[in-house]
Amino acid sequence: MSEPQTEHELKPQEFEFESMHLQVGVRLQFITHRTLKPVQHFSTLIGWLKDEYLIVKMPMDSGAPIALVEGERVTIRVFSGIHVCSFACTVERVFGRPLSYLHISFPRTIQGTSLRTAIRVKVDIPARIVPVNGAAAAADCLLTNLSVSGARIESQKSLPQDEDEFDLEFVLLAPPNNQEVRVRARSTVRNISALSTAAEQAEGFAYGVQFSGLNPAHYTLLQNLTYEALLADRQKIV
């Protein structure tokens, strides 16, 4: 099965395991090869023992774990923020209910492509701008695209001229149960433009912001958001 292709991608290359910068909790695409056409599922990385095995959650299908057998060949695909990597594994051990996780073989060869920049995904998420120094009141805004490195936000009010750094608060839904997770990201304004209607009347402001010091768990959630859009809904890719 071919890798997802976008205009952002460079030529395929080999990767070392460490260069993928995987985080526990990252979303994995789990591909089985039992039929002529490979079947895609989703899983989550629990951990690994270097050069021995990876520990992943059992993929689900219609609310039930899929039936896997030891020795079965699978392909794992992962998006690490700026890389899309895939590697072949075999199922080494199956831990059934109530644990529902797997040991799969440690990757020996990893193929992937680098992306020119962190891909942004179109979103429509309410957020709040919270000034760092507390000198100004918090303001509501709207996230219109999002990536692991930053976002585009729209606001009816302009940020104070001396307030180019602030905290951006918003909520993401964490798989597999869509649990709400509140994200607070330190942000820096990189560009600003006025929003206008067809009549050229200013309707607010759009900001391109860059994140810094993002919580690793929140970084992983943003990875998952971007990866699933890359695979499942390419129209959301900016």
Please write the tens of the pLDDT for every residue from 145-158. 998 889 999 988 77
Contact present, 38 and 81 (Cβ < 8 Å): no
Which pLDDT belongs to residue 5? 44
Which pLDDT belongs to residue 236? 63
pLDDT band of 198, cuts 50, 70, 90: low
- Average of per-residue pLDDT values in the chain: 83
Q: In whole angstroms, what separates CA 216 from the centre of its chain? A: 12
Structural domain ending residue among the three candidates 65, 90, 114: 114
Which pLDDT belongs to residue 7? 43
SS3 annotation, the chain:
CCCCCCCCECCCEEECHHHHCCCCCCEEEEEECCCCCCEEEEEEEEEEECCCEEEEECCEECCEECCCCCCCEEEEEEECCCEEEEEEEEEEEEECCCCCEEEEECCCCEEEEEECCCCCEEEEEEEEEEECCCCCCCEEEEEEEECCCEEEEEECCCCCCCCCEEEEEEEEEECCCCEEEEEEEEEEEEEEEEEECCCCCEEEEEEEEEEECCCHHHHHHHHHHHHHHHHHCHHHEC
What are the tens digits of pLDDT across the range 5-64? 444 455 678 889 998 888 898 888 899 998 888 898 889 999 999 999 999 999 988 888
| Residue 171 clears pLDDT 90, i.e. is over it | yes
Same domain for 99 and 127:
no
Structural domain ending residue among the three candidates 114, 147, 168: 114
Same domain for 101 and 74:
yes
Same domain for 90 and 42:
yes
Same domain for 180 and 125:
yes
Which pLDDT belongs to residue 3? 41
Same domain for 147 and 108:
no
The count of domains in the chain is 2
| Residue 231 clears pLDDT 70, i.e. is over it | no
| Residue 202 clears pLDDT 60, i.e. is over it | no
Is this prediction's pTM over 0.85?
no
| CATH value at residue 23 | 2.30.110.10
Which pLDDT belongs to residue 4? 41
Same domain for 228 and 128:
yes
Same domain for 142 and 98:
no
Same domain for 165 and 72:
no
Same domain for 144 and 110:
no
Would you say residue 42 lies in a domain? yes
Would you say residue 2 lies in a domain? no
Structural domain ending residue among the three candidates 90, 114, 138: 114
Would you say residue 8 lies in a domain? no
Would you say residue 108 lies in a domain? yes
Task: Give 166 or 90, the one with higher predicted confidence.
Answer: 90
Would you say residue 161 lies in a domain? yes
| CATH value at residue 173 | 2.40.10.220
Same domain for 137 and 205:
yes
Would you say residue 162 lies in a domain? yes
What are the tens digits of pLDDT across the range 108-148? 999 988 765 667 888 999 999 888 876 677 889 999 999 88
Would you say residue 76 lies in a domain? yes
Q: Which domain holds residue 171?
A: 121-233
What are the tens digits of pLDDT across the range 68-124? 999 999 999 987 666 788 999 999 999 988 889 999 999 999 998 876 566 788 899
Same domain for 82 and 150:
no
Would you say residue 190 lies in a domain? yes
Which among 77, 88, 107, 95 is positioned nearest to 223, based on CA atoms? 77
Which pLDDT belongs to residue 46? 95
Same domain for 214 and 169:
yes
